[in-house]
Chain A
Amino acid sequence: MTSATKPAGKDVRPPGKLRSYLRAVGAVVWKDLLAEYRSRELIGAMLVFALLVILIFNFALELDIRTRETVASGVLWVTFAFAGTLGLNRSMGVEKDRGCLDGLLLAPVDRSAIYFGKVLGNLFFMAIVEAIVLPTFSVLYNLNLINTGLILVVLLGSIGYAAVGTLLSSMAVQARTRDILLPILLFPVSIPLLLAAVKASNGFLQNLEMVDIMPWLNILIVYDVIFIAVAFMLFDFVVEE
């Protein structure tokens, strides 16, 4: 640009790099939501699976009212973890199978925008399933799970799970042993997250003192921050050709 065409005053940067980044993220999320809205395969599968898991637990564990209270958070998070892997697997699997991933990669957006877009999409699907499971669980187990603290924990836990899960599923779908591989990769590294989530959920459900719950919330937050950062940096290497 010659000085004649340069506007007077400060340098003009391309219109908000941040804005176009966010638009890219939004586009990825919107694509996933739209696709899911049209087919409704993913959430349906996750939901049915989650309800089946709860049902099985009901028969597998002899639960009187007191045991139910102590065991509820564990059952809940096992359900979320399993349904979550289902969602993650299918979400990434579809990308790979239909070649959408390659299409996305050709687009002139920062790879990390794709990552965040996928994470938000996965998070959204998990959230919908969780929003349905919580009241259902409350009814079936006769416990009140609609609890702000609990919802906070579910959110924090899901964020971390989706962050790591999206990265790992993008690797798993490229392997031959695709379906069984994601849980094998994800579960061991998500143990601190799941442990903290269960303990924190339990704390809120049983109305424990905040001082008892705080260490677990701290672990959740630390885990989320660390792994969002790590996954975001590593995603590039997973999808490059």
Chain B
Amino acid sequence: MKAMPMGLKALNWITGVVFAVALYLVFFYAPREAVMGEVQRVFYFHVAAGWVGALAFLVTAVEGVVILARGDRRWDRIALASVEIGVIFTFINIVSGAIWARPIWNTWWTWDPRLTTATIMELIYIAYLMLRQGIEDPDRRARFGAVYGIVGFISVPLTFLSIRIFRTIHPVVIGNNDPGAEGTFDMTPRMQTAFFFSLITFTFVYVTLLWHRLRLQDFKEYIEERKMQVLTT
């Protein structure tokens, strides 16, 4: 397997530094929130993880379109890597959302539209992976992944919308009745800095992990090929 390219090595360092800065901003630079206390700091990475999940899903859907349009399944490896990362970060988004909600509303789950939609999105991701697992032919796997990636991606905004309307008309006993807020607080400029920087940081993390995962996938396919050669000689 080829050595790690210079670009990736550099990216590793950059991401590491950026992440360290983000940690500083989140823990020390941003002020403590007036009502919720320290747990509010989780919010910065919670939203950033959710952003990565959505980005990963978008990338997969776009890859899907490319795969179908070009009939070229080499793009499929990007879709697979992206989904894997998306599953992880959506999971982080959901669980951190629950941890954040617990001290504020005294319940682990509030059926908030955003968290609920994230959970459904996670289920779609997992279904995507299960679909791929059940298909032997790599060409078909790529095509089916592309189709489901597109269908899934389109369904998410509709899901969010319908749950939002549901929450508006259907007040919930526990949690916040405002469907727009997971937990409202006004963000001071320092908080906004931490917030936006977290988004940027996690984007770096996504790209770095994606690159690494792609290398892994290429290596894996290379080894599979060699194994096939050995078995058939």
Contacts and interface: CB of A to CB of B under 8 A. Distances in A.
Do A and B come into direct contact in the complex, CB within 8 Å? yes
A222 B154 CA distance: 12
A188 B166 contact: no
A189 B124 contact: yes
Q: Which one of A171, A177, A195, A223 has the highest number of Cβ atoms from chain B below 10 Å of its Cβ?
A: A171
Contact of B148 (A176, A185, A215, A227): A185
Interface in B124-178: 124, 126-127, 130-131, 133-136, 140, 143-144, 146-148, 150-152, 154-155, 158-159, 161-163, 165-166, 169
A177 B134 contact: yes
A168 B155 CA distance: 13
Nearest to B125: A188
A176 B163 CA distance: 33
A238 B144 CA distance: 7
Nearest to A231: B151
B113 to A, nearest CB: 11
Interface in B97-132: 120, 123-124, 126-127, 130-131
Contact of A234 (B68, B120, B127, B136): B68
8 contacts: A168-B148, A171-B131, A174-B135, A192-B158, A192-B161, A230-B150, A230-B154, A234-B151
A46 B209 CA distance: 46
Given A199-B169, A219-B161, A231-B151, 9 more contacts: A171-B147, A174-B135, A174-B140, A176-B136, A192-B155, A192-B159, A215-B165, A227-B151, A227-B154
Nearest to B145: A171
Contacts of B68: 234, 237
A168 B152 CA distance: 11
A85 to B, nearest CB: 13
A188 B134 contact: no
B162 A175 contact: no
B147 A238 contact: yes
| B interface: dominant SS | helix
Nearest to A177: B134
Across the A-B interface, give the 10 residue pairs with the lowest CB-CB distance, nearest first: A175-B134, A189-B155, A192-B158, A192-B162, A177-B134, A188-B123, A176-B134, A188-B124, A184-B127, A234-B147
Contacts of A227: 151, 154
Interface in A186-241: 187-192, 195-196, 199, 212, 215-216, 219, 222-223, 226-227, 230-231, 234, 237-238, 240
Nearest to B121: A188
Interface residues of B, number: 31
Contacts of B166: 195, 199
Interface in A1-24: none
Contacts of A222: 158
Interface in B67-99: 68
Given A189-B152, A189-B155, A238-B144, A177 B133 contact: yes
A38 to B, nearest CB: 31
B143 A237 contact: yes
A181 B135 CA distance: 11
Given A212-B169, A222-B158, A188 B143 contact: no
Nearest to B119: A188
B130 A177 contact: yes
A221 to B, nearest CB: 12
Contacts of A174: 135, 140, 144
Contacts of B161: 192, 219
A184 B134 CA distance: 13
Given A174-B135, A188-B152, A167 B130 contact: no
A126 interface: no
A240 B139 CA distance: 11
A226 B144 contact: no
A226 B130 contact: no
Contacts of A72: none
Nearest to B146: A237
Contacts of A133: none
Nearest to B147: A234
Nearest to B165: A215
Nearest to A223: B158
Interface in A51-86: none
A94 to B, nearest CB: 19
